[in-house]
């Protein structure tokens, strides 16, 4: 599956993949588990304004495409479960998902 047309490696992670991962987790936590935007922002270590942006689909087509892929394949499951289980540091799970997506790009 071609996820990104033009961005290699690190640039793809920072501009498309990581925002898509965060958007997918935010959407799942808010829609499925009724978390507030503020709580999700705190758990993800981002501003509430970023979560609002994710929830209102205000991001690039690449982020949208990757987020849809993550949600359709339930690839954010480990991150969401870690949050639900009270794990404070979810960076390992986020890194694993970023690497997986980068490999499929």
Count of domains for the chain: 1
- What residues contact 70, with CB distance under 8 A and at least 6 apart? 20, 21, 24, 76, 97, 101
In a domain, 32, yes or no: yes
In a domain, 2, yes or no: no
In a domain, 30, yes or no: yes
Residues of the domain holding 98: 9-104
- pLDDT higher than threshold 80 for residue 52: yes
- pLDDT higher than threshold 90 for residue 2: no
Q: Identify the band that residue 13 occupies on the pLDDT scale cut at 50, 70 and 90.
A: confident
Tokens of 24: 């997918």
Model confidence pLDDT, tens digit, residues 55-80: 998 989 989 999 999 999 999 999 99
In a domain, 3, yes or no: no
Q: Residue written as tokens 């359709």?
A: 72
- pLDDT higher than threshold 60 for residue 5: no
In a domain, 4, yes or no: no
pTM: 0.86
């Amino acid at each position: 599956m071609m996820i990104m047309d033009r961005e290699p490696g690190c640039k793809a992670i920072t501009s498309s993949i990581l925002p898509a991962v965060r958007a997918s987790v935010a959407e799942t936590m808010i829609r499925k588990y009724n978390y507030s935007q503020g709580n999700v922002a705190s758990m993800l270590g981002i501003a509430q304004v970023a979560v609002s942006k994710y929830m209102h689909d205000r991001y690039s087509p690449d982020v949208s495409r990757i987020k849809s892929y993550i949600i359709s394949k339930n690839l954010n499951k480990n991150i969401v479960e870690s949050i639900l289980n009270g794990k404070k540091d979810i960076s390992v799970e986020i890194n694993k998902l970023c690497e997986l997506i980068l490999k499929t790009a």
